[in-house]
Structure 1
Amino acid sequence: MATQTGLGEPRGPWFISPDLRPERFGPVVVPDGGGDPRPPGRRHRVLLAGLAVVALSVGSGGLAGGWVAGRDELSTAASASLPADLVAAAAQVLPGVVSVTVDAGSATANGSGFALDDQHHVVTNDHIVAKAAGADRGDLLVLVETADGRQFDAQVVGREPASDIAVLRVPPDAGLTALPLAKPGATRVGEPVLAVGSPLGLPGTVTAGIVSAVDREVRLGNNRHTAVQTDASINPGNSGGPLVNARGEVVGVNTAIATIDGNGSIGIGFAIPIEQVQQVADTIIGKGG
């Protein structure tokens, strides 16, 4: 029987709850796995006092827990009382969601992504592929795995670090189903949503929750973002996967969680709003093809 050796260290830009008064909240850079560089007085000004801020849901070593349950299993975490429309939404979106693994030789990263269109483009988070930015292109391997276990090499079409969005292209025979996108401004607080992806290396995992807030001001790394907040469980490996509503429409791209002492999901997750995702992806595709 396999023995779990740890889930790995969460990595990527950290989430820091913003103090909206610029004079009290200047630029902050927190390295991966490092501590908060601000003096104690400033740390106490953070709106989410007591949260040992977070980490994006991707990390080297993050797959270790996943292999225990078996690579080929589809894991659906939802209560028995899950509304029928969410069951239908899960069935609709799973064929368009993939696991993403980036291997740059000396470093690897794992996350999720989803099919954007019928031109074989896949949206994911930039921080998943960021390690490859300075790598020798000959050493770079980007692999996507579909919900039914098939694997394909993927090409990085382009990246937008400031928005934490990247676009991949997969071969046509991947046969991914493009996911419908929610209309701009249509997401409402309290509506049910699903987070779909590969947390801890478990492909095809679905978790349910609600939209906790929209237009939530947060800081990820060096950048301020307006995010969709959700209590759907998001963990390492979910980054880049879709947050979808009960109609199976993507309302955002899961990108970060708040944690206490780095202990995983506590029901505060953040997704990049689909309006921003679509605009950035269209720009990337226009430049990169």
Structure 2
Amino acid sequence: MTETYLPPRQQPRQPPVPPWTYPAPSYLPPEPPKPKRRLGRGAVALVAAATIAAAGVGGTVGALVAGDDGAAAPTASATTTSDTKAVDVSSIVDKVKNSVVQVNVRTANAEGLGSGVIIDASGRILTNNHVVSAAEELTVTLADGRTVPASVVGTDPSTDLAVIQARGVSGLTPAKFGDSDAVHVGDEVIAIGSPGGLQGTVTTGIVSALDREVNVAGEEQRQSPFPQARSGGGSTVTYHAIQTDASINQGNSGGPLFNSAGEVIGVNSAIYSPVSGPDGSAGSVGIGFAIPSNDAQQVIDKL
């Protein structure tokens, strides 16, 4: 289901900057394509605002490519060597793309979508709680284009995670989960999801920070993550996230963040956006947050 980050109803007194956006589900009507840019039919589908996806769209993974030290070689026999090599993104994507799905949500008067990752061959799928929490009808679109019905197995609103079950399927390709405690700042990451309804979109980037505390209002509150700006009842979602410079956009919520070995090390769930539209829509500015895979595995076991 689509994810959107609703703008805070109150602005924090200090500092006067916009808070992290929470991917609270919202269903937006389709918008016409912008001039000089053609989008596929699914691109203008109602998409949940800013989810966290984790990597620069189409970005090259240049952070680990060794560069020339700039010294001029005095003879033709001098050579430059490197101990690092670029990550082969295309190979990793070929390996993991079938484990990523699009989650489609329908309510009484709206539709939305998000992303998810397959965790076993029988069709259990991990996604964000905010993607499916308001669903009255739930389906999943697999990487091969099939759309099948699904149901919610369990949710954990406190960590913004949920497990759903795709029905009538078998032999699916589950993702391999990695150790998020072994992640380092500067590691290259790959995200696959359905931003703007464009299923199977691949983005790349790096881990820009670790153990970043993210506080967002729960579904009953959906206001500013700053304590002094909150009002009313409702739960609060708090977790220590992997921060990435990923290009994350509406529809990426619940999708996986892969490391360079093709292992899931995070679940994209929120972004920081200094500007949001009147309808709560927001876009990536290169600061995204993913729930660590080790935390997600604990929730999976519990659910």
**Contact in 1 for aligned 2:245/2:287 (Cα 8 Å):** yes
Letter in 2 for 1:257: I
Letter in 2 for 1:231: D
Asked if residue 69 in structure 1 is aligned to residue 72 in structure 2, the reply is: no
Letter in 2 for 1:227: A
In the other structure, the counterpart of 2:13 is 43
User: Taking CA–CA contacts closer than 8 Å with sequence separation of 6 or more, which of the two structures ends up with the larger relative contact order?
Assistant: 2
Superposed, which structure 2 residues align to 1:132-147 within 5 Å? 132=135, 140-147=136-143
In the other structure, the counterpart of 2:46 is none
SS in 1 for 2:298: helix
Aligned partners of 1:63 and 1:240: how far apart in 2?
21
Asked if residue 98 in structure 1 is aligned to residue 101 in structure 2, the reply is: yes
In the other structure, the counterpart of 1:215 is 211
Aligned partners of 2:3 and 2:150: how far apart in 1?
24
Shift of 1:192: 0.3
Letter in 1 for 2:111: T
In the other structure, the counterpart of 2:154 is 158
Q: Larger deviation: 182-191 or 227-236?
A: 182-191
Q: In 2 relative to 1, CA 118–62 (structure 1 residues): closer, same or farther, beyond 3 Å?
A: farther
Aligned partners of 2:58 and 2:88: how far apart in 1?
13
Aligned partners of 2:173 and 2:26: how far apart in 1?
27
Asked if residue 11 in structure 1 is aligned to residue 4 in structure 2, the reply is: yes
Q: In 2 relative to 1, CA 232–63 (structure 1 residues): closer, same or farther, beyond 3 Å?
A: farther
TM-score (norm 1): 0.75
Aligned residue-pair number: 240
Summarize deviations over 1:167-186 as a string: whole Å, max 9, x none: 01113536431000012411
Q: In 2 relative to 1, CA 277–249 (structure 1 residues): closer, same or farther, beyond 3 Å?
A: same
Summarize deviations over 1:201-251 as a string: whole Å, max 9, x none: 000001000001111111022122100000011111000000000111001
How many percent identity over aligned positions?
Answer: 39
Summarize deviations over 1:126-184 as a string: whole Å, max 9, x none: 0011113xxxxxxx210111122211101110111001011011135364310000124
SS in 1 for 2:261: coil
Shift of 1:88: 1.4
SS in 2 for 1:163: coil
Provide runs of 4+ in structure 1 moved above 4 Å.
62-67
Aligned partners of 1:251 and 1:64: how far apart in 2?
33
Structure number with the higher helix fraction is 1
Aligned partners of 2:207 and 2:294: how far apart in 1?
16
Asked if residue 56 in structure 1 is aligned to residue 31 in structure 2, the reply is: no
SS in 1 for 2:133: helix
Aligned partners of 1:80 and 1:196: how far apart in 2?
15
In the other structure, the counterpart of 2:70 is none
In the other structure, the counterpart of 2:130 is 127
In the other structure, the counterpart of 2:120 is 117
In the other structure, the counterpart of 2:241 is 227
Higher Cα radius of gyration = 2
SS in 2 for 1:282: helix
Shift of 1:123: 0.3
* Among 272, 283, 291, the residue aligned to 1:272: 291
Q: Larger deviation: 142-151 or 171-180?
A: 171-180
TM-score (norm 2): 0.72
Runs (5+) with no aligned partner, structure 1: 1-8, 13-31, 133-139, 285-289
Aligned partners of 1:88 and 1:159: how far apart in 2?
33
**Contact in 1 for aligned 2:118/2:173 (Cα 8 Å):** yes
**Contact in 2 for aligned 1:62/1:110 (Cα 8 Å):** no
Q: CA RMSD in A?
A: 2.6
Q: In 2 relative to 1, CA 211–61 (structure 1 residues): closer, same or farther, beyond 3 Å?
A: same
* Among 171, 174, 178, the residue aligned to 2:174: 178
Shift of 1:106: 2.9
**Contact in 2 for aligned 1:57/1:238 (Cα 8 Å):** no
Aligned partners of 1:58 and 1:78: how far apart in 2?
26
Shift of 1:120: 1.8
Letter in 2 for 1:260: P
